Amino acid sequence: MAIAPALAPEPKAEWPFAEAVAEAREIIAAAHAEPTIASAGISILQLRNGLCRYPLGDPRAEDFCYCGAPTRRPLYCEAHHAISFRPPEPRKSRGKGR
C-alpha cells in the first residue's frame, strides 16, 4: 500500500485586515495608557473657563485637585476627554411592531 506524499502548505496570503487590526490595537493601547498632563493640578478656587476640570485623586484627601490644563473642548483637556467619553453605540433595531 502506497502512502500519499505530504502536501506542502500553500503560502499564506497576507490577511487583508492585518493593518486595520494593528491600528486598532495601537488605539486601544493609547486609550489605556496614562494621559500626559501638562499641569501639576489646581484647586477648585483656581478653576476658570478654558481649564480642565478633571478631578485628580481622592476628593477627601488634602492634596485633591483638578487637572487645570488648557482645554479646547468644554470641561476637559484632550487627554482627559479621550479617557472620559465613549462614542455612542449604534442603536439596535427593535424589529417590526415595536
Q: Which three cell numbers stand for residue 39?
A: 499641569
**Which grid cell sits at 26?**
495601537
pLDDT in tens, 74-85: 889 888 888 888
Reported confidence tier of residue 19, pLDDT bands at 50, 70, 90? confident
Q: What is the mean pLDDT of residues 39-66?
A: 90
CA atoms of 48 and 41, how far apart (whole Å): 13
CA atoms within 13 A on the CB side of 11: 2
Task: Give phi and psi for 66, each to the nearest 5.
Answer: -115, 155
Rounded to 5°, the CA angle 57-79-90 comes to 110
Report how far residue 68's alpha carbon sits from residue 54's, in angstroms, rounded to the nearest whole number. 8
Pull the grid cell for residue 92: 439596535
Give the mean model confidence (pLDDT) for residues 55-64.
92
The pLDDT value recorded for residue 96 is 63
